[in-house]
């Protein structure tokens, strides 16, 4: 099985490989990472923009490597809620059940958690989440390792685990071949 991951981030790669093994029972996975544009801001805000970024990444990966089995887009974002800023991510998996079959999609969102004001204020000022986390928590390149969730949970949940459940859920259409799931074609890119 060949899986194209629309990011060079090692955390997104590890989480995807774990999910493919668990959800699809695939032990031998050829993974390729491609750096593609999300088509959204560096720090997406809200469900719609974050989902659009994940969809754009998955589709760009499909265009870049059309002969793969699955194409995965992961986009982290933040949501304003009652004066607080919550952190979450959207996962989009595109793929075919048969080589010449239609491209179908699976989508899922991670859990959310509230960011402390020290990080949220920096994000609202235009700083990307990973940089804001490093500044406040004293880390270095946390977006490629533990993520923001790592230091905030005392290491109980890291960024790989944070993404892995949503990745497994986004793969539901690919392990249930006898059921009907949405085609990828009508919604790619989302609304502008």
Residue 38 pLDDT more than 70?
A: yes
* Residues 115-129, mean pLDDT to the nearest whole number: 96
Helix, strand, coil content of the chain in percent (nearest 5): 40, 20, 40
Provide the 3-class DSSP secondary structure of residue 183: strand
70, burial (CB in 10 Å: exposed 0-12, middle 13-18, buried 19+): buried
pLDDT value at position 188?
46
Distance in angstroms (rounded) separating the CA atoms of residues 119 and 139:
13
Distance in angstroms (rounded) separating the CA atoms of residues 57 and 70:
12
Statement: the pTM of the whole predicted model exceeds 0.85: yes
Distance in angstroms (rounded) separating the CA atoms of residues 64 and 46:
27
Residue 28 pLDDT more than 70?
A: yes
Residue 119 pLDDT more than 80?
A: yes
Among 15-24, 46-55, 57-66, 175-184, the range scoring the smallest mean pLDDT is: 175-184
Which residue from 154, 21, 132, 52 is spatially nearest to 85, judged by alpha carbons? 132
DSSP lists the bridge partners of residue 71 as 4, 94
pLDDT value at position 118?
98
């Amino acid at each position: 099985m060949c899986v194209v991951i629309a990011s060079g981030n090692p955390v997104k790669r590890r989480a995807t490989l774990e999910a493919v093994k668990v959800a699809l029972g695939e032990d031998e996975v050829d993974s390729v990472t491609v750096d593609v544009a999300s088509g959204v801001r560096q720090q997406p805000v809200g469900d719609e923009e974050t989902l659009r970024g994940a969809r754009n990444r998955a589709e760009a990966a499909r265009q870049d490597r059309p002969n793969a089995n699955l194409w995965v887009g992961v986009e982290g974002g933040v949501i304003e809620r009652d004066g607080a800023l919550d952190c979450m991510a959207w996962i989009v998996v595109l793929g075919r059940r048969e080589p010449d079959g239609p491209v179908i999609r699976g989508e899922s969102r991670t859990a959310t958690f509230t960011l402390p004001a020290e990080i949220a204020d920096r994000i609202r000022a235009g700083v990307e989440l990973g940089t804001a986390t490093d500044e406040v928590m004293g880390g270095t390149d946390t977006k490629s390792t533990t993520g923001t969730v790592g230091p905030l949970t005392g290491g109980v949940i890291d960024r790989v685990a944070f993404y892995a459940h949503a990745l497994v859920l986004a793969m539901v259409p690919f392990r249930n071949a006898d059921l009907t799931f949405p085609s990828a074609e009508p919604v790619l890119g989302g609304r502008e």
